[in-house]
Amino acid sequence: MKRMIAVALLACMTLFCAACTDNNAEEESSGKISIESSETSSESSVQESSKEESSKEESDKKDDKKDDKKESSAPESSVEESSKEEESSKPEPSVEESSKQESSVAESSVESVVTESSAEPVVTESVQPESSVAVEQPVMGQFSADDMSFTYNNYTISLHDNMQNVIASIGNASSVETAPSCLAINVADDKMYYYNGFMIQTYTDNEAEKVYMIQITGTAASTTKGITVGSTAADIEKAYGLSAATEHSDFMYSYNADSKTHLDFIMESGKVMEIYYTYDVA
């Protein structure tokens, strides 16, 4: 009997243990399932949260780009609008104000010019225009006793020359005139020999005719320096100089070789009309 009870108790215990193990197994499986479900739910929640975060980041980036675009476009428009507002807000200068400004500028420029001119005198130098051809300055000539002669047909005739020698060189005169001598009384008459464009007057010295006056009235004869009827005052000054002239005016240029020997140019309208060589015999 006791044995049967013990067996029954053992059987009951084994059943109880089996039931306990089954319960434990069920509880473990349910725990595992719950843990796995919690893990899967947490993983899904994490994935969802990461997706949400990434979507938020992308939307934030898009928003940032839009904001950047708005900000980049906003300053330009605002600057343009502000400049337009400033230009529209600026009052236009009146005619009186502009004229005052122009007059003040003119006065300031005049004052600056006055101060500069009063500070230092400005010396302006005349600039000669450059030219390929050098301007020849007039050369002033000189006068001497050798200039008391003239040329005709390449022959030189001077005061005090023997008239017979002159005739032998240039030929006979076209006409000859005589006149009482003005040099002395009871002497031979003077003679005047007329040639083409000039006249030679002689006096008698020891029975020889000497030249003591020459008158040139045409272009056939000229001085030894080339001055003839029609030459200008500048030509005379270039040939004989101006400082040596004892007289120079619009009517006459006079040169003296000595106290008795003279060369005179009779002028009219700035040109030579007559030339005289004279020697004071008395």
Lowest mean pLDDT among 59-63, 100-104, 111-115: 111-115
In the prediction, which pLDDT does 142 show?
Answer: 86
CB proximity list for 242: less than 8 A, separation 6 or greater: 140, 248
Question: What average pLDDT score do residues 94-119 get?
Answer: 52
In the prediction, which pLDDT does 53 show?
Answer: 61
Taking only the tens place, the pLDDT of each residue in 202-217 is: 998 888 899 999 999 9
Lowest mean pLDDT among 33-47, 214-228, 249-263: 33-47
Residue 252 has pLDDT above 70, yes or no: yes
Residue 2 has pLDDT above 60, yes or no: no
Lowest mean pLDDT among 63-67, 118-122, 240-244, 259-263: 118-122
Residue 227, φ and ψ in degrees, nearest 5: -85, 130
Task: Report the Cα 266 to chain-centroid distance in Å.
Answer: 50
Residue 179 has pLDDT above 50, yes or no: yes
In the prediction, which pLDDT does 46 show?
Answer: 43
pTM of the complete model? 0.51
Secondary-structure breakdown of the chain: helix, strand, coil percentages, each rounded to the nearest 5: 45, 25, 30
Taking only the tens place, the pLDDT of each residue in 121-150 is: 555 555 555 555 555 555 567 898 899 999
Taking only the tens place, the pLDDT of each residue in 66-97 is: 555 555 444 444 445 555 555 555 555 555 55
Q: In what order do the strands lie in the sheet with 252-256?
A: 175-179, 190-195, 198-205, 208-216, 271-279, 261-268, 252-256, 247-248
Report whether CATH 3.40.33.10 matches the domain 145-279.
Answer: yes
In the prediction, which pLDDT does 189 show?
Answer: 86
Residue 36 has pLDDT above 70, yes or no: no
In the structure, what pLDDT confidence band is assigned to residue 180 with cuts at 50, 70 and 90?
Answer: confident
Computed on alpha carbons and rounded to an integer, the radius of gyration of the chain in Å comes to 69
Nearest to 237 by CA among 257, 261, 267: 267
Residue 54 has pLDDT above 70, yes or no: no
Domain ranges across the chain: 1-88, 145-279
Residue 220 vs residue 140, higher pLDDT: 220
